[in-house]
C-alpha cells in the first residue's frame, strides 16, 4: 500500500474514533415525546421558536425526541402550566419571566421599568451572570431553564387616549401581569392596574372591563387588540423575555447526552427566535397602524422622567431581594449600559 495512502487512512480512522468517543450515538437517545405549551398563537415568534427547537432537537436525537406544540393556552394559563411542569405532567413551556416572580422573587429584577433601552443591553444582561444566577435558583422549585427568548419591549394600548407623558396614564384601568413590580409601577403613575390572566384579556377589553393593557407589539397584533383598543403608545417601559422551561422531573430522567442535545437545540433556537421576534416587532407597528390604531412615541427626556417617577418603587422591591443578586444586577446593568 502506498505510504501516503496508508497515512491518510490512519488519520481518517483516528478522526472517526475520536468523533465516536464524543458524538452521541443513536442508542444514547430514547423515544420521548415532549409536550411544549405556551400562551401565544401560532403566528407569534414564540411559536416559531418552538418549531425551530423541535426541528433541531429531532435532528440531534435521530428523530427520537418529538416535540408536540400546544399554543394559545391549550394547556392552561402560565400558572397552570408552571404547576404542570413542577408536577411532571407537562415537559416544557416558554412563559414570560414575570410568571416566575412568585416562586423566585428576584426574577422581578427583569421587570424593572426603564432598566435597558436596547436589545443588545437586554441580551447581555440575560445571557450573562445575572440571567444565569436567576436560572440557578429554579431547580429547587422543580424547574430547569434552557435560556431566554425574546418577547420584546412592552408598550401600552388603550381605548381612551395616546400616552405621551406620565400624566396620561392617570386613571386608566390597565390589565397587567399578576406581578407585584408591574402593579406597583403603574400605581406610581396613578393608573389603576388590574392583574388578570392573559386568556381573559381580550374579552375584558371588548367588554370595557379594562381600558387597556401593555404588551410587546407582536403580541398586540397577534391577539388582535387593535379590534378593541384605538391607541398604541411606544412606552418601551419594560424589556420582556420568555424563558424556556423544562420540568425537572422530566429532566432528571434524561441521560447526559439527551440533556446536552436539549441545551444545544435551545441555544440554537434562541438565536433564531430573537431574530424573528425583533423583525416581527418592527413589522407589527406598521400593521397595527394599517389596522386603524393611532401610534405615537415618547420623547427620551419624558422616558427618563418616567424612570425617575418609578425609581422609589424599584428601590422598595430591591430591598426585599437577596442582596447578592441585587448587587449582581446593578453591577451587570452598569456594564451593559456602557
Q: Residues 324, 188: contact at Cβ < 8 Å?
A: no
Residue identified by cell 420584546 is 152
Instruction: Give the model confidence (pLDDT) of 280-324 as tens digits.
Output: 999 999 999 999 999 999 999 999 999 999 999 999 999 999 999
Where does the pLDDT of residue 5 fall: very low under 50, low under 70, confident under 90, or very high at 90 and above?
Answer: very low
Tell me whether residue 209 is exposed, middle or buried, using C-beta atoms within 10 angstroms of its C-beta: 0 to 12, 13 to 18, 19 or more: middle
Q: Is the pLDDT of residue 23 over 80?
A: no
Q: Residues 246, 262: contact at Cβ < 8 Å?
A: yes
Instruction: Give the model confidence (pLDDT) of 208-242 as tens digits.
Output: 999 999 999 988 998 999 999 999 999 999 999 99
Instruction: Please state the domain extents for the chain.
Output: 32-337
DSSP string, 91-113: -EE--BGGGGTTTSGGGGGGG-T
Where does the pLDDT of residue 255 fall: very low under 50, low under 70, confident under 90, or very high at 90 and above?
Answer: very high
Which pLDDT score, from 0 to 100, does residue 172 have?
Answer: 98
Instruction: Give the model confidence (pLDDT) of 134-153 as tens digits.
Output: 999 999 999 999 999 999 99
Alpha-helical regions (H) of 178-299: 180-188, 201-206, 217-222, 248-251, 256-290
Which pLDDT score, from 0 to 100, does residue 2 have?
Answer: 44
Among 166-170, 176-180, 264-268, 320-324, which stretch is predicted with the lowest mean pLDDT?
176-180
Report helix, strand and coil shares of the chain as percent, to nearest 5: 55, 20, 25
- How confident is the model over 141-170, as a mean pLDDT? 97
Instruction: Give the model confidence (pLDDT) of 79-116 as tens digits.
Output: 999 999 999 999 999 999 988 988 999 999 999 999 99
Residue identified by cell 422531573 is 249
Residue identified by cell 414570560 is 96
Residues 46, 48: Cα–Cα separation, whole Å: 5
- Of the candidate CATH numbers 3.40.50.2030, 3.40.190.170, 3.90.1150.10, 3.40.50.10310, the domain formed by 32-337 belongs to 3.40.190.170
Residues 210, 174: Cα–Cα separation, whole Å: 6
Residues 150, 332: Cα–Cα separation, whole Å: 19
Amino acid at each position: 500500500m502506498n505510504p501516503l495512502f496508508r497515512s491518510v487512512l490512519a488519520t481518517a480512522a483516528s478522526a472517526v474514533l475520536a468523533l465516536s468517543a464524543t458524538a452521541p450515538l443513536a442508542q444514547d437517545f430514547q423515544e420521548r415525546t415532549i409536550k411544549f405549551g405556551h400562551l401565544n398563537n401560532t403566528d407569534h415568534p414564540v411559536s416559531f421558536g418552538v418549531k425551530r427547537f423541535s426541528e433541531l432537537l429531532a435532528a440531534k436525537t435521530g428523530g427520537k425526541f418529538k416535540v408536540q406544540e400546544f399554543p394559545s393556552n391549550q394547556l392552561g394559563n402560565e400558572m397552570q402550566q408552571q404547576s404542570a411542569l413542577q408536577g411532571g405532567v407537562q415537559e416544557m413551556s416558554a412563559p414570560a419571566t414575570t410568571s416566575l416572580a412568585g416562586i423566585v422573587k428576584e426574577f422581578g429584577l427583569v421587570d424593572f421599568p426603564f432598566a435597558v433601552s436596547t436589545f443588545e443591553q437586554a441580551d447581555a444582561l440575560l445571557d450573562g451572570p445575572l440571567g444565569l444566577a436567576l436560572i440557578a435558583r429554579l431547580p429547587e422549585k422543580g424547574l430547569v431553564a434552557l435560556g431566554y427568548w425574546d418577547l420584546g419591549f412592552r408598550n401600552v394600548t388603550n381605548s381612551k387616549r395616546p400616552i405621551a407623558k406620565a400624566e396620561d396614564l392617570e386613571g386608566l384601568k390597565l390589565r397587567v401581569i399578576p406581578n407585584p413590580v408591574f402593579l406597583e409601577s403603574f400605581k406610581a403613575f396613578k393608573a389603576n392596574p388590574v392583574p388578570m390572566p392573559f386568556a381573559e384579556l381580550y374579552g375584558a377589553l371588548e367588554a370595557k372591563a379594562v381600558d387597556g393593557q401593555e404588551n410587546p407589539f407582536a403580541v398586540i397584533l397577534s391577539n388582535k387588540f387593535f379590534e378593541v383598543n384605538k391607541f398604541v403608545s411606544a412606552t418601551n417601559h419594560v424589556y420582556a423575555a420568555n424563558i424556556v422551561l423544562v420540568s425537572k422531573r422530566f429532566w432528571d430522567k434524561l441521560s447526559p447526552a439527551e440533556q446536552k442535545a436539549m441545551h444545544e437545540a435551545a441555544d440554537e433556537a434562541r438565536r433564531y427566535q430573537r431574530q424573528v421576534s425583533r423583525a416581527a416587532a418592527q413589522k407589527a407597528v406598521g400593521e397595527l397602524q394599517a389596522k386603524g390604531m393611532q401610534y405615537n412615541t415618547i420623547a427620551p427626556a419624558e422616558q427618563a422622567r418616567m424612570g425617575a417617577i418609578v425609581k422609589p418603587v424599584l428601590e422598595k422591591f430591591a430591598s426585599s431581594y437577596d442582596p447578592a443578586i441585587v448587587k449582581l444586577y446593578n453591577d451587570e446593568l452598569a456594564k451593559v449600559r456602557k
